[in-house]
């Protein structure tokens, strides 16, 4: 038995629930076959036939197609023996005309129990009102689910961003463009998979629990497996297992899935996010540039939009080919400092306030790059040929071992894609891993070398290009969202105050 509730709005709704049950109707609905998405119903407007006005008539007779719809009541305007209401589903919204004379006594009694948020089904004729509004003139009313909670107020309701993300179900119902954005996300992801399939890539599912966190420099989430009595790590990247599969003969392979990094939360970071990683045997980083452009352009086309998209009051032109500039070129452009002059770079780092003592010159340079250069890259622009010392998984440029064949794609100051010509020399890879891990304490979870990966490389991995794309950031840019939390259905949030109090009391 539910506990008493003193909220007068919920009390009124529960009274209507009781009246629905008294009418012999299940307030929680049942299977409702044959209904058509509202968007498709609206496209049948051309089937409405309007007869010539007869003498004495105020409005002409109409004949429209019989339709069956289901949706949530989002607007209601009772007027005596008539009710006008709007229902919506995930394809659109349509007005209903519910008249006592048209639906009969039983359905009219049911109509008196309707509230905003209730889910109903209707059978009726699609016509236009005197004002020209496309409307279903209801003949049969079906009750499908009672809403016991009132919706948020139209103008003072669900406006707090954290509340919207915590109550995403209400945000999807009532937020302008929210449902459309997430449906567009689905189309983008479907397009990416379709484009990769067209390029003969195969999709795989790698493990999300790793004994050794690898493939990126990031802090992992740690968990414990009781049966084996070992610590495990939520994966921080997809790379090393996909490369094992290339050793095994899967020449074009990708995974599109979640990765987890135990780091901060910001408009561009969520600890749990979606990553695409793809690897192509016998390719290189230039192959991956071509693939990146194709994936993005085809994703935009899949949503039916132009290649020039609005974003944050500006416009992004995704017309290929995207410009290509070297790391050192954009460094010099944005800082006015010669990137090949370690003293000048260090002086700039000191001026910014970075700690430089004991750091490799390329590490200092890259910290300056991240601080001063990345945010200024409007893009889309491919920045290529990074310092090799900061790219331990990347093949060196022929004739210049100080440069790694790596690119990052920047759009509006965000890194969206990262790609390499993959390093497949097992001895050099082991040496670079050792250098990267040097000085880390043994208990540090990042101070572990994946020796099985090195063993796989010794069996021979074909030369290859590899690509990683941050799907959430890409979708931000393709849907005009200013924070990553607006494109993730359920971003990480602090526990609600009540739950936080319980956790504190139990600890």
Nearest to 485 by CA among 159, 163, 165: 165
pLDDT at 486 (0 to 100): 95
* Structural tokens at position 193: 């998979």
In a domain, 3, yes or no: no
Is residue 389 within 8 A of residue 360, CB to CB? The reply is yes
Domain boundary among 99, 116, 151: 151
In a domain, 340, yes or no: no
Strands (E) across 90-208 are located at 92-99, 119-128, 134-145, 202-203
Do residues 88 and 120 both lie within one domain?
A: yes
pLDDT at 445 (0 to 100): 47
Do residues 141 and 180 both lie within one domain?
A: no
In a domain, 444, yes or no: yes
Q: Which residues partner with 63 through β-bridges? A: 49
Domain boundary among 151, 185, 205: 151
Phi-psi region of 463 (alpha: psi -120 to 50; beta: other; left: phi over 0): beta
Is residue 484 within 8 A of residue 273, CB to CB? The reply is yes
The CATH number given to whatever domain includes residue 41 is 2.40.50.140
Nearest to 302 by CA among 137, 185, 191, 459: 191
Dihedrals φ, ψ of 12, to 5°?
-65, -40
Do residues 473 and 393 both lie within one domain?
A: yes
Do residues 130 and 197 both lie within one domain?
A: no
Do residues 81 and 206 both lie within one domain?
A: no
> What does the pLDDT profile of the chain (507 residues) look like in tens digits?
445 556 888 899 999 999 999 999 999 999 999 999 999 999 999 999 988 877 777 777 889 999 999 999 999 998 888 999 999 999 999 999 999 999 999 999 999 999 999 999 999 999 999 899 999 999 999 999 999 998 887 645 577 888 888 999 999 998 889 999 999 999 999 999 999 999 999 999 999 999 988 888 789 999 999 999 999 999 999 999 999 999 999 999 999 999 999 998 888 999 999 999 999 999 999 999 999 999 999 999 999 999 999 999 999 999 999 999 999 999 999 999 999 999 999 999 999 999 999 889 999 999 999 999 999 999 899 999 999 988 888 999 999 999 999 999 999 999 999 999 999 999 998 988 887 666 555 544 455 778 999 999 999 999 999 999 999 999 999 999 999 999 999 999 888 875 555 445 544
In a domain, 157, yes or no: no
Nearest to 383 by CA among 348, 342, 424, 415: 415
Peptide bond into 321 cis (omega under 30): yes
**DSSP secondary structure of 219-231:** PPPEEEETTTTEE
* Structural tokens at position 462: 């074909």
Is residue 316 within 8 A of residue 380, CB to CB? The reply is yes
Is residue 54 within 8 A of residue 105, CB to CB? The reply is no
174 sits in which H/E element: helix 168-174
Contacts of 205 (CB under 8 A, 6+ apart): 255, 257
* Structural tokens at position 342: 């370690």
Do residues 120 and 184 both lie within one domain?
A: no
Distances (CA, A) of 154 to 84, 147, 179: 18, 17, 17
Do residues 183 and 273 both lie within one domain?
A: yes
Is residue 384 within 8 A of residue 404, CB to CB? The reply is no
pLDDT at 214 (0 to 100): 84
In a domain, 358, yes or no: no
Phi-psi region of 350 (alpha: psi -120 to 50; beta: other; left: phi over 0): alpha
467 sits in which H/E element: strand 464-470
The CATH number given to whatever domain includes residue 194 is 3.30.930.10
Distances (CA, A) of 395 to 109, 260, 321, 421: 74, 26, 24, 6
Domain boundary among 121, 151, 181: 151
In a domain, 167, yes or no: no
The number of domains in the chain is: 2
Specify burial of residue 462 (Cβ count, 10 A radius: 0-12, 13-18, 19+): middle
* Structural tokens at position 234: 């939520």
In a domain, 331, yes or no: no
* Structural tokens at position 394: 């990347």
Do residues 178 and 145 both lie within one domain?
A: no
Do residues 258 and 315 both lie within one domain?
A: yes
Do residues 293 and 215 both lie within one domain?
A: yes
Cβ atoms within 10 Å, residue 143? 22
In a domain, 418, yes or no: yes
Peptide bond into 380 cis (omega under 30): yes
455 sits in which H/E element: helix 451-458
Do residues 310 and 410 both lie within one domain?
A: yes
* Structural tokens at position 222: 């740690």
Q: Which residues partner with 89 through β-bridges? A: 92
Is residue 261 within 8 A of residue 219, CB to CB? The reply is yes
pLDDT at 80 (0 to 100): 84
The span from the CA of 392 to the CA of 240, in Å, is 13
Do residues 146 and 180 both lie within one domain?
A: no
What is the domain range of residue 231? 173-323+379-506
Dihedrals φ, ψ of 140, to 5°?
-135, 135
pTM score, two decimals?
Answer: 0.89
């Amino acid at each position: 038995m539910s506990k008493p509730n003193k909220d007068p709005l919920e009390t009124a709704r529960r009274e209507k629930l009781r009246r629905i049950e008294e009418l012999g109707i299940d307030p929680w609905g049942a299977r409702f076959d044959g209904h058509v998405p509202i968007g498709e119903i609206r496209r049948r407007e051309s089937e409405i036939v309007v007869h010539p006005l007869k003498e004495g008539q105020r409005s002409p007779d109409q004949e429209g197609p019989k339709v069956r719809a289901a949706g949530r009541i989002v607007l209601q305007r009772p007027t005596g023996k008539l009710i006008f209401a709007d229902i919506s589903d995930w394809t659109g919204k349509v007005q209903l005309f519910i008249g006592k004379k048209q639906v009969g006594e039983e359905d009219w009694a049911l109509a008196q129990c309707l509230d905003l948020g209730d889910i109903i089904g209707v059978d009726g004729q699609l016509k236009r009102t005197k004002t020209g509004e496309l409307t279903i003139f209801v003949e049969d009313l079906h009750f499908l689910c009672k809403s016991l909670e009132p919706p948020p107020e139209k103008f003072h309701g669900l406006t707090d961003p954290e509340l919207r993300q915590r109550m995403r179900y209400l945000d999807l119902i009532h937020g302008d463009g929210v449902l459309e954005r997430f449906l567009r996300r689905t189309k983008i992801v479907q397009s990416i998979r379709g484009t990769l399939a067209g390029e003969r890539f195969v999709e795989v599912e790698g493990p999300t629990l790793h004994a050794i966190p690898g493939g990126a420099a990031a802090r992992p989430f740690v968990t414990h497996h009781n049966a084996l009595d070992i610590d495990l790590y939520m994966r921080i990247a997809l790379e090393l297992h996909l490369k094992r599969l290339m050793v095994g003969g899967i020449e074009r392979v990708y995974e599109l899935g979640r990765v987890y990094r135990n780091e901060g939360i910001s408009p561009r970071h969520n600890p749990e996010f979606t990553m695409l990683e793809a690897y192509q045997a016998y390719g290189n980083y230039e192959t991956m540039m071509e693939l990146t452009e194709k994936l993005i352009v085809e994703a935009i086309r899949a949503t039916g939009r132009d290649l020039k998209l609005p974003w944050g009051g500006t416009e992004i032109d995704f017309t290929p080919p995207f410009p290509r500039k070297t790391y050192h070129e954009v460094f010099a452009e944005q800082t006015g400092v010669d990137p090949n002059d370690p003293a000048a770079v260090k002086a700039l780092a000191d001026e910014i306030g970075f700690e430089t003592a004991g750091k490799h010159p390329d590490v200092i340079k890259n910290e300056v790059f991240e601080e001063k250069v990345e945010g200024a890259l409007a893009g889309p622009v491919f920045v290529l040929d990074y310092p090799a010392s900061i790219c331990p998984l990347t093949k060196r440029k022929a004739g210049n071992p100080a440069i790694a064949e790596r690119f990052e794609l920047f759009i509006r100051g965000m890194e969206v894609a990262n790609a390499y010509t993959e390093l497949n020399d097992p001895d050099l890879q082991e040496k670079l891993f050792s250098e990267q891990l040097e000085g880390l304490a043994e208990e540090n979870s990042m101070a572990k070398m994946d020796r099985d990966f090195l063993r796989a490389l010794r069996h021979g991995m074909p030369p290859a290009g590899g690509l990683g794309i941050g799907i959430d950031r890409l979708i931000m840019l393709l849907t005009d969202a200013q924070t990553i939390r607006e494109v993730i259905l359920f971003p990480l949030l602090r526990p609600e105050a009540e739950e936080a109090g319980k956790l504190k009391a139990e600890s």
